[in-house]
Every structure is written in C-alpha cells, then in structure tokens.
C-alpha cells in the first residue's frame, strides 16, 4: 500500500472516463470560479450603492430605556421649543395594548 499514488489513480480515472465527462470536468471548475467572481462583484457594487444612498443628516433617533420607555431625540434645532415634523402617536383600540409610552426631547 506504500506505493499507492492518489494523483496517478485520479489521472487514470480521468483518462478512462468518457469524453463528455472529461468536458464536464474541464468546464465546471472555471465556470464555478467565474460565477463566484460575478457574485462577489455584484455584492461589491450593491454595497457601494447602498452606502451612497445613506448620505444626508440624522434628524431623529429613537432609544428605548430599561423601563420600556421610548425616547425620540431630535438632532436639529427646535422651532419655538417643538421638534420639527413630529407627529403625535396614533392610538386606536386594537393597538392600545401594543403601544409604548413615548417621551420627546431635543439635544
């Protein structure tokens, strides 16, 4: 068993296989590499486009404290002490049990 060579056995198997299997053996590895490169390039381009869309300024942050109270923090100057574009929370009978208390403040 000490004179067994894996590569010799592998190449012998390859040589004795039909021509269509040899073609598949020769086409699959480069095809796999090309598909992998194409997927990585698409991922890279998608990440660049996603980063490009995140330009702008932060206007509000929402933070939940340990008492399950939501804090909406404004990062823009206040108009007469009230945050801009702040809508009152929507309450109805169905979502009353799911709504969380909200506290608004500006930094």
Judge contact between 42 and 49, C-beta under 8 A.
no
The pLDDT value given to residue 95: 47
3-state secondary structure of 61: strand
Please give the DSSP secondary-structure letter assigned to residue 8.
H
The pLDDT value given to residue 31: 97
Tokens encoding 14: 């390859």
Mean of per-residue pLDDT scores for the chain: 78
The pLDDT value given to residue 38: 97
pLDDT of 51 over the 90 cut: no
**pLDDT-based confidence at 68, cuts 50/70/90?**
confident
Q: Where are the domains of the chain?
A: 6-52, 57-107
pLDDT of 39 over the 60 cut: yes
* pTM, entire model: 0.42
């Amino acid at each position: 068993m000490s004179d067994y060579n894996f590569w010799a056995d592998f190449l012998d198997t390859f040589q004795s296989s039909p021509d269509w299997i040899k073609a598949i053996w020769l086409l699959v590895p480069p095809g796999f590499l090309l598909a992998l490169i194409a997927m990585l390039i698409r991922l890279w381009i998608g990440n660049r486009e996603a980063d490009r869309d995140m330009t702008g300024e932060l206007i509000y942050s929402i933070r939940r404290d340990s008492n399950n109270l939501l804090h909406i923090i404004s990062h823009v100057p206040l108009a007469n002490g009230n945050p801009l574009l702040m809508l009152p929370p929507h309450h109805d009978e169905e979502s009353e049990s799911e709504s969380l208390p909200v506290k608004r403040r500006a930094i």
